Chain A
Amino acid sequence: MNLIDEWPERDRPWAARYMVVVSRPEVSSAAIDARARELISALREADAPADVLFGDPGEIAEEDVRVLGTNEEAVSASEGGGPRQGLSFIGTALTFLGVSSALVMLTRGVWQIDVELGPLCIVLGILGVSIAANLAWTLFVAGSTGWTLVVGAGGLAYMAGCIWLAAAVGPGYLLIAGVPLWALMIGMALPGVLVLLVARLVPRRPLRSAWADDEWLRRFRGAMRSQGVYGDVAREHERSVRAGIDEGEGGYYVEFGHPVVFARSLAVDDNRAAIRRWRWSSSFQVAVPLLMCVLISFSESFGAWRSPAMIFLFVSGIVTAYTSWRHRPAEQKR
């Protein structure tokens, strides 16, 4: 039975709003379930509507996030938290890319397509570089800076190879004639869906608990970088941590716990890092729709859908920029 069905009928809109706000990466689903059951039994005992008994659902959910949220859960649930989370992230990105490309093909109104080797190389290049970019991001979030660079460079080299091959082959090298559009659309969505299916099969593992000191420090440095901590502050943290380990007993993991969790616990209250993280995410969220808008303006693929698509993407970018600006972290003077 769905948990939302256990709420009294009249309180379901309240419950839905509460669940939306409380469902954050740092709050585990077990903690949300337990808290929701507490609220439901309180409602049954009091026999009063939720808004009368608890007040605003957003406010109580925010308070619950503060109490129930942990850095361990946030790191564990992030795309860098393990193979399952990483694969889910990559699969979602690929599915989005595949489905949106398939929809673009649909707008052309052509139902059979000749597959040529040159364009296929470019498509495979884009697929490969997308996988590499998403994998590099999961490694960056997990604090593995070295591997991030290796995978990023590998992806770019692969893309360059595909472009070179496409240029060498040239246009007109026909592989298969008259492939039905539906088959191509399935082919485009398939890689992402397959990765998502594999992610489902991989069990979610607890965070790693065995660390050599050198590796712990490397991950800690990388994780601070991915959390937006400035170099001077990160160096000061590292120096303090090194001094702390000389004073205490045991290794870095014993004293400070998981390196990414520890880095996050330091970065959460770091105002400069918060502003930097906001800049990164806002720039990305605004740049992507605007860039797509520009690319579509040069494309002939969209037919009659070109102008509506451009307007939609442009408005999305502007609305995101406005919303993001309104939620920017305040700069604190020290």
Chain B
Amino acid sequence: MNTVNAEWIKLRTLRSTWWTMGIAVLVALVLTALGAGAVISRWDPGQAPGQAAMGIVVAVYVGVILAQLPLGMLGVMTISGEHASGMIDTTHVATPAKSRVLLAKAVVLAGFAIIGSLFIAVPGYLYGRAVAAEFNPSALPADAWPVIGGGTLMIVVTTLLGLALGALLRNGAAAMAALMAIVLLLPFVARMLPWGDWANVLLPTYPALQLIEQVPDIMPTWVAFTVLGGWAVVPLIIAALVGRR
């Protein structure tokens, strides 16, 4: 708990944290509002209240995952910044168990990413309901939860993957490049390959997009959640094991 406290103080005492979070939330909110407005304007008048509520949730979570790169960058910088300044030594003198430091950073960042996603999702949802008032959207339908869970998980995964890559590569620019390659570049390349569907099942982006209903289903929902969650957990375990040496 002490380590988590210390990491939370570290995160919140840097202005760059708030700039990153502020810009991420603001940009995502604007795009969510524009996106939701555009989607709703194309609905036919017969849209059922349940469908309307679902449509709003989907539009909102498309907006939420737009904040993933700034938050991934925050994950990278949380550790690569300490390697760059050398402050990581002070951290390890205070807390010799390196894996505990990494875990504490992960806990703090995951909480921060979830709260960030809510700062986008809640106002976005309320705005969507206001714009779609004429369709009388219902309360949250049951099939909205995988969308909410998937979108939230995607943003947490990108943040923690950033942390793991920062811990492994110790260099901010290299870690950021690796993060973009995994999240953006590889899925794009995979689409052009004959075995692309397989690569897509294994990479984090397709499962996330499937969960927020942006691509056709190619795997069961539980597989999508597992693969996505694995991209948060496995790289962190590898980073913890490599850090032991």
Q: Do A and B bind?
A: no
A contacts, CB < 8 Å to B: none
